[in-house]
Amino acid sequence: MRPSSVTTAGSPQELADLAGARRDLYRFCSAAFLQAPSPGLLDAVGDGAFADDLSEWAGCETVAKFHALGKSAEDGGFAEQARRDFMQLFQVPGAQQVTPYESAHRDRREVRGKEVAGLLFGPAATAVQQWYRLG
């Protein structure tokens, strides 16, 4: 069942099938983003069954991307690369730092003759603070 057919009433079985497919997709997404990919998750992606199930209601481009992901999962280094990518994206290990302040991304300063980002509580932060006081 394609997403466009969801807007029209379907049979109870079609609606139940769509609900089951959505449930499985939400489970997959939560497993993919909640923690680093496990061997079981990577095996599930690699066997192609998930992409085949997805083809019942997702567009061809999405399904093709999942099939390509499944093919790359067969590579021996895929599991380690997927774990590394997850850790860099969500866990920020080592010397990397994610700052909660926008000013660190917007404002610049000069260090040893080079312009660098990372000025905390600079002009952007001051402007936001003044804006809040006006509102």
pLDDT in tens, 39-67: 888 777 777 777 777 776 677 787 787 77
Burial class (CB in 10 A: 0-12, 13-18, 19+), 34: exposed
Residue-range domain boundaries for the chain: 3-91, 103-134
**Token output for 8:** 């029209």
Q: What DSSP line would sit under 16-33, residue for residue?
A: HHHHHHHHHHHHHHHHHH
Confidence (pTM)? 0.48
Which of 12-21, 54-63, 117-126 has the highest average model confidence (pLDDT)?
A: 12-21
pLDDT band at residue 4, thresholds of 50, 70 and 90? very low
